[in-house]
Amino acid sequence: MKILICFLLVMGSLSNTILSQTLVEPNQNFEWETFSFLFPEPVVVKIESTVQKKLTVYPAKRDGFFMVIRILPWSEPITDKNLWGGSVFQKGISPKQFQKTITNQTFQIYQADQVRNQNALRNQVWIRMDEKPYLWIWLQWKTDRKDLTDFFESNLFLSL
């Protein structure tokens, strides 16, 4: 099963085409598919065509975070949720998982810190599999940016 997930992610990255690129201002609702997101600062949002529907978000002015948002392509979720934690984080520090319910939507959240290129990073993967379409959100931000920690861990990016 882990091989299948990796295969889907690799195939998606090999066949992606940028369909549009948009500058989004802070605290402006950004609508994509049936979802709405907010961002803590100006961002560039890329809508990509892949095997999966994919949205990539980068800061427009300064380094500090990025997001990848996907709609999962299968009709039934993978029931072994433990698979997700190991498939996302490489050499994660203090990995943990927990559930969070936000306006009647339940997310399974995997979190781990990581050191990459001398940067201390926080990684979170949010997976909503209690209703269709199934949603996968990967957040990564520099832990020295306390404003980002407050924004993402308070789930302000989801304007549900």
- Is residue 159 assigned to a domain? no
Q: Residue 103: which region, alpha, beta or left (left: phi > 0; alpha: psi -120 to 50)?
A: left
pLDDT tens for 98-107 read 999 988 889 9
What is the model's pLDDT at position 7? Answer: 43
- Is residue 158 assigned to a domain? no
Give the helix ranges, DSSP H, for 15-128. 82-88
What is the distance between the alpha carbons of residues 27 and 134, in angstroms, rounded to a whole number?
Answer: 24
What's the number of domains the chain is made of? 1
What is the distance between the alpha carbons of residues 157 and 148, in angstroms, rounded to a whole number?
Answer: 10
Closest by alpha carbon to 106, among 116, 117, 97, 118? 97
pLDDT tens for 27-80 read 899 999 888 999 999 999 998 876 778 899 999 988 889 999 988 876 655 555
pLDDT tens for 81-91 read 555 555 566 77
CATH number at residue 50: 3.40.1000
Closest by alpha carbon to 66, among 26, 5, 122, 111? 122
What is the model's pLDDT at position 81? Answer: 53
Domain encompassing residue 133: 2-153
State the average pLDDT for the chain: 79
- Is residue 71 assigned to a domain? yes
What is the model's pLDDT at position 5? Answer: 46
Residues 81, 6, 21, 66: is their CA dihedral positive or negative?
positive
- Is residue 7 assigned to a domain? yes
More confident residue, 19 or 25: 25
Q: Kindly report the CA angle at 49 between 55 and 103, in degrees rounded to 5?
A: 35
